[in-house]
Chains A and B, each alone.
Chain A
Amino acid sequence: MPWRLLRFALSKKHPEPRMFRAHAELKRSYDVVIIGAGGHGLAAAYYLARDHGITNVAVLEQGYIGGGNTGRNTTIIRSNYLTPEGAKFYDMSVKLWQDLSEDFDLNLFYSNRGHYTLAHTDSAMRTMRWRAEVNKHYGIDSEVVDAAAVHKACPMMDLSCNGHAPILGALFHAPGSIARHDAVAWGYGRGADQRGVEIHQQTKVTGIEIVAGKVKGVHTSRGHIATSKVLCAVAGSTPRITKMIGIDTPLFIHPLQAMVSEPLKPWLDPILVSGSLHVYVSQTARGELVMGASLDPYELHNTRSTFDFVEGLSSHMIDMFPFLADVKVVRQWAGMADMTPDFAPLMGKTEVEGFYLDAGWGTWGFKATPASGKTMSYTVANDRNHELIEGFTLDRFRKYAPTGEKGAASVGH
């Protein structure tokens, strides 16, 4: 039992202060306004305060801290991306992730489980090799393994997948991890708060004031605030914000659903992803199987659940793990994924001076949280795109130069 828990037994009063202060009022102006108190927004606030000394920052959140996709994803962290831009960016992210618990003095349950992207066809095997080669070039630990290695990592799995889609091999990514998703937002939020950032929950942005192509202020449900810099980090709500200022983007919003089983004694060590069967699954420290599949097939701006989703995913889960037939699904939920045509994010400066975008996170935003905070805080502080996000700016589409993450054509999680 760690000594640091001793104080809870010895202290009469619960010896913990608030993680985030409550603020009765908004100030009249801030140096930077961040829209969205999810992981990304709070990470940017944290690094703005810690690394750039900018603390006069308001983070505005229409709901509650971490209540959007931060708290709805399946918490997979990896850097085995296909493009050099993606690999380098997510590699930075994974390295930051590994130290976050100690940085925050908050246990994020950053759990290094190893990540297998299963290949059921020879074309998938080719893609795995492509990813492995790009990864290795940038020092990322990825390799193509054969079916025997997959069997060794998960001996209980039916490698034939009920005869539907025999597993030929996999891309094994040793750093693949999961983490306690809510805690990431809390850790960044607490760290930002301690450094003077104000987090305003239940504060909705109703408009953005632009004069002569420059940001001047933000209208909110609690009044107007003056600012010259706005960072928009609202994932599935991004088009609502960009519509306020007339910026067109390629974003389209589809729900992404997930489901969770009852707690079971842990048996599944690695994170498994099958693009062919549209399954990704890991087992949390509570013993729940957290499962996801592909995007919903049509645009929708709400988080309703569908029965089709649990039917399809359960069927494929049983293909892979026949013995789970009697294991029960407890809950399903959904988030709104902001997709881009090339499966790479939209980051950085925009045509409106002082308006910075951190969007296009589709189904891969959680793992990007630290790197997006780092690079966006740099970009906002210096009004210059961080070098790691130059491939992710909105203007790439005007140049007909998508960042080819879609080339992998596998599940994006």
Chain B
Amino acid sequence: MKRLPPQAGEWIDRGKPLRFTFEGIGYEGYAGDTISSALLAAGVRVLGRSFKYHRPRSVLSLANHDVNALMQVSSCFSVPNVRADVTPLAEGLRATAVNTIGGVARDRARFLEWLAPFLPVGFYYKAFHKKSQFPFWERVFRRTTGLGTVDFSARRKGSPKRYAFCDVLVIGGGPAGLAAADAALRAGARVALVDENPRLGGSGLYNLGGADGERQAEETRRLAAIAAAGAVVYVSSYAAGYYADHWVPIVTPGHVVKMRARAVVVATGAYEQPAVFRNNDLPGVILASAAQRMLARYSIAPCKRAVVLAANDDGYRAARDLAAHGVEIAAVVDLRGANSRGAVPPGTLVLEGHGIHEALADSQGALRGVRVAPLARDGTLDGYQAREFECDGLLMSTGWAGAAPLLYQAGARMEFSAELQQFVPAACPPGVYAAGRVNGVHGFAQKLRDGAAAGRAAAAQSRKPGSVDGAAPSCRQERAQSGMPSHPYPIFAHPKGRNFVDFDEDLQLKDFFNAAQEGFDNIELMKRYSTVGMGPSQGKHSNMNAIRVLAKILGRTPGEVGSTTARPMFHPVPMSHLGGRGFMPERATPLEGRHAAASAVWMPAGQWQRPEYYAVENQTREAAIRAEVAAVRGAVGVIDVGTLGKIELFGRDAGAFFERIYTAKFAGMKVGSTRYGLMLDESGVVIDDGVIARLGEEHFYFTTTTTGSATVYRELTRLNAMWRMEVGIVNVTGHFAAINLAGPRSREVLAPLTALDLSEATFPYLGAREAQVAGLPARLLRVGFVGELGYEIHVPASGAAHLWDQLMKTGAAHGIRPFGVEAQRLLRLEKGHIIVSQDTDGVTNALELGMDWALKMDKPFFVGQRSLEAMGRLPRKQALVGFTLDEPDTGMPKECHLVIESDEPAGRITSIAHSPAVGRVIGLALVAPALSKVGSTLNIRIDGGRMVRATVSETPFYDPKNLRQKQPETA
């Protein structure tokens, strides 16, 4: 094949040659070429190998409706499964065919074709499954399967997504789409137009067939110029799918544009369908439209001498286009009967009522000729009367299938038109319009009228939804004038087979008959059993023929057989485009820098990072944590608790509101005091806990768990909306920082920083105060989570670092030390305080916690109360207990090790640690009620299956009377 002389409108730029390699051999193409077109122009006949039999393949559609030319393409790293037919050529590009052993020319896996007789449809279900042998066969399969190869060195990337809005989105820039865009622009709509090709125009610029075609191309160019001037145009881009509310992601070469349209015109055209006959997959057998694209876009003659198989006017147009570019037409073979022929160049042989009995291969496996046979009355071919024609190109033009996936996704009702032999939309949902070939409208003038009607309707709908009903605009007339674009059954059996229906999956005609014979005789089952349409091109060139074959088998019409669901993606989309830049929000407290400076080792806590502990040079993690614990117990420590949720409540009913959402009582709560609360769901399961401070009669401030703040706030606002109490709720989690100052010396550390009277009498345990601390407006809560004298100090986030620094400064003399989450976990464990979601799980109810003091069942109502009442009458399933390990030397249990009783699981450890204060290993466990009495023995199975014993103990383990929290001034 050689390039034709330069012609107007060609897409290649002959001034810009590009060098590239295919299978290690250097070639040259032009800017504007695709990889396939450049290779065709260079005379390369075999571009790929088929999936199953490794048959030589070349271009079929040149439009991404098949994957015959699927390549591994390398530049700085290697990209698998590149569709060479539509991928622009680039300088220095290196391509190889995927899925070959030893290269595309002499693929050693081609022997697999000899095995074809042993490999009927679904063969892999029928053998290889002896248990002892399957692993071996599976390895064989996994070696031979797959297409391209992943390059593990490929870089992470994600393209930013864009958002766009328009009145009318026109998908498809062929004649119908251009007419729709033009009409919508005239109606004053904001129009966006998408086309997968690098230039607008579609078939208007290549499906020519003579002088008429040239005039049509002129009109197409005129409309394209109007669209380019008036609409936002996305070329080399495709709509990945249609999603609810006219939400259409447009995949451009670099990124995804998420388009929200008011109305959508689907003018996606049609996929030309291959005829099915023996060897219809040889390199050189191509769709007529592919040949026309080669001629017009890349100035390539697809062959020197062609046979054209036609069953519609398009085939004749293609024949005239070939002849006009100097290709010899050996014959036009028309599947239709007498008097259906179109115009052909003088002297061209036309064989009406004939078909292709088989295509013949040369030594390379490419086309060298065809055998043409007359059609019998029953539509079969009589092979005995076949005549051979020498040719290096066979063009197939026997029919179309609407490119309708977007219509299916939009919920259009599709019906089969016997006249058109095509599935066409019978009704589209509001705001969705079909135009052109996908709408069953095939002639050029008809497409323009149909497109214009759709564009007008879409524009009107976008101005005033409901102004145009959802049905497709009347296109009956245009459809009626479309002739017979598709042959009802261009499918021919051959005793030797190799008549392919699905080129991706190497499925032959007999496979469908055999699948039906095995009971897979509805279209969905047939698809799943045979895998038709499940390859990378998703049935674009195969589904329609599969439906026709099944209809034939069942004696039904294709309409009765129905089609399968067409799911997104329309064409496959790279994950980098879909994933975009990713969005994983991370939160930091205002003290992050202080922690980092103090060598914090971080751990995730929901969206936050918290210091697990502060590393000390030449000290182990354990030693560092022990030192932090010792500081809190012996002197003073400071921990950033700013990740806690912080919520404020205002209003007359604030107290009553708390009564309903927490298990504790609030009605009689004094201003200036705090209370611990458990929050339950309706089934009584514990979902959160926190400290509630009453700052005024109608003003509360409370904390939630770190991970619970957003959900708690959201649910409270819902309950408030439903109960409509006089309450205002404000989430101030980010506004406030919070620092817990804890330890026997904490009062002395705090005192210099505030004028507030910190004496036990005026600011007692569980008290809450508002005061200036270190010059900042602060809220101080006397809490005892870690079991020492302590102040939780909440200040505006902007002042957090200042407060921290001041505390560290005044604390220096007292041995202050920052402590992390690990130390806090141990300190609270010594006090027997629970951590919701560690000592509870998704089904732990409040009765099981042994915290009955916190459950005020005599209140009129709180969320979860009624379920607790009911459960109170039923046997308990488990109980949370404290325990101490009997002999710590026998082995250390871990959290979630099981308690075993009578050889059955009877609970699990939820928290465990060695307590320096108690001098023993202590823990909490959820255990069977029978084991929950103080003094009961727990048998714990630890790593390695060994058993250790523990004894259920009272909690708190440390300072059981809670004296240290209430510590009066230094004695």
Contact = CB atoms under 8 A, between A and B. Distances in A.
B522 interface: yes
Contact of B870 (A105, A266, A400): A400
Nearest to A400: B871
Contacts of A207: none
Nearest to B942: A133
B841 A67 contact: no
Contacts of B243: 304-307
Given A66-B528, A325-B575, A315 B583 contact: yes
B376 interface: no
A286 interface: yes
Contacts of B525: 64-67
Interface in B127-163: 127-131, 134-135, 138, 141-143, 145-158, 161
A330 B576 contact: no
A102 B131 contact: yes
Contacts of B241: 305, 307
Contacts, number: 304
A275 interface: no
Contact of A8 (B120, B146, B538): B120
Interface size class of A (residues with CB under 8 A): 35 or more
B409 interface: yes
A324 B844 CA distance: 41
A326 B574 contact: yes
Contacts of B119: 5, 8
Interface stretch (B319-327, B381-389, B722-730, B894-902): B894-902
B522 A201 contact: yes
Interface size class of B (residues with CB under 8 A): 35 or more
Interface stretch (B267-275, B513-521, B745-753): B513-521
A153 interface: no
Given A266-B146, A327-B574, A108 B841 contact: no
Contact of A264 (B120, B150, B519, B521): B150
A149 interface: no
Interface in A294-321: 304-307, 310-311, 313-319
B843 A404 contact: yes
B518 A17 contact: yes
B603 interface: yes
B361 interface: no
B841 A409 contact: yes
Contacts of B941: 133, 137
Contacts of A307: 240-241, 243, 247, 249, 258, 568
Contact of A331 (B117, B568, B604, B844): B568
B579 interface: yes
Contacts of A201: 522
B874 A326 contact: no
A26 interface: no
Most chain A beta-carbon contacts within 10 A, residue among B145, B258, B845: B145
B700 to A, nearest CB: 29
B898 A133 contact: yes
B649 to A, nearest CB: 28
Contacts of B347: none
B569 A402 contact: no
A329 B575 contact: yes
Contacts of A306: 243-244
A289 to B, nearest CB: 10
Interface in B78-103: 79-81
B618 to A, nearest CB: 25
Contact of B127 (A2, A318, A327): A2
Contact of A311 (B128, B579, B877): B579
Contacts of B150: 264-265, 267, 323-324, 327
A105 B130 CA distance: 9
A329 B572 contact: yes
A5 B123 contact: yes
Interface string B839-871: 001111100000000000000000000010011
Nearest to A312: B579
A326 B569 contact: no
A222 to B, nearest CB: 16
A112 B134 CA distance: 10
Given A71-B528, A130-B908, A404-B841, A333 B576 contact: no
Contacts of B896: 126-127, 129-130, 133
B148 A325 contact: no
B597 interface: no
A6 B151 CA distance: 38
A182 B837 contact: no
A266 B871 CA distance: 52
B209 interface: no
Nearest to A181: B528
Contacts of A112: 135
A148 interface: no
Contact of B80 (A130, A285, A327): A327
A221 interface: no
B580 interface: yes
Interface stretch (A45-53, A115-123, A235-243, A353-361): A115-123
Interface in A91-128: 98-99, 101-102, 105-112, 120-123, 126-127
A99 B129 CA distance: 10
A307 to B, nearest CB: 5
B670 interface: no
A305 B843 contact: no
A325 B518 CA distance: 41
B156 A318 contact: yes
Nearest to B118: A5
A196 interface: no
Contact of A106 (B129, B135, B146, B578): B129
Contacts of B567: 305, 331-333
A314 B129 CA distance: 34
B961 interface: no
A162 B129 CA distance: 40
A319 B582 contact: yes
B151 A314 contact: no
Interface in A154-171: 156, 158, 162, 164-165
A66 to B, nearest CB: 7
B126 A5 contact: yes
A42 B513 CA distance: 25
Contact of B895 (A66, A129, A311, A402): A129
A28 interface: no
A248 B210 CA distance: 70
A359 B142 CA distance: 35
A316 B146 CA distance: 23
B905 interface: yes
Given A8-B120, A129-B894, A134-B905, A264 B131 contact: no
A152 interface: no
Contact of B519 (A18, A285, A326): A18
Interface in B481-528: 510, 513-514, 517-522, 524-525, 528
Given A14-B517, A133-B905, 18 more contacts: A19-B519, A66-B525, A106-B126, A127-B896, A261-B575, A262-B572, A265-B80, A265-B147, A287-B142, A315-B580, A315-B583, A319-B582, A329-B569, A330-B569, A332-B567, A333-B567, A400-B683, A400-B845
6 contacts: A5-B126, A22-B519, A102-B131, A126-B896, A319-B584, A404-B843
Shortest 3 CB-CB contacts between residues of A and residues of B: A287-B146, A322-B156, A328-B572
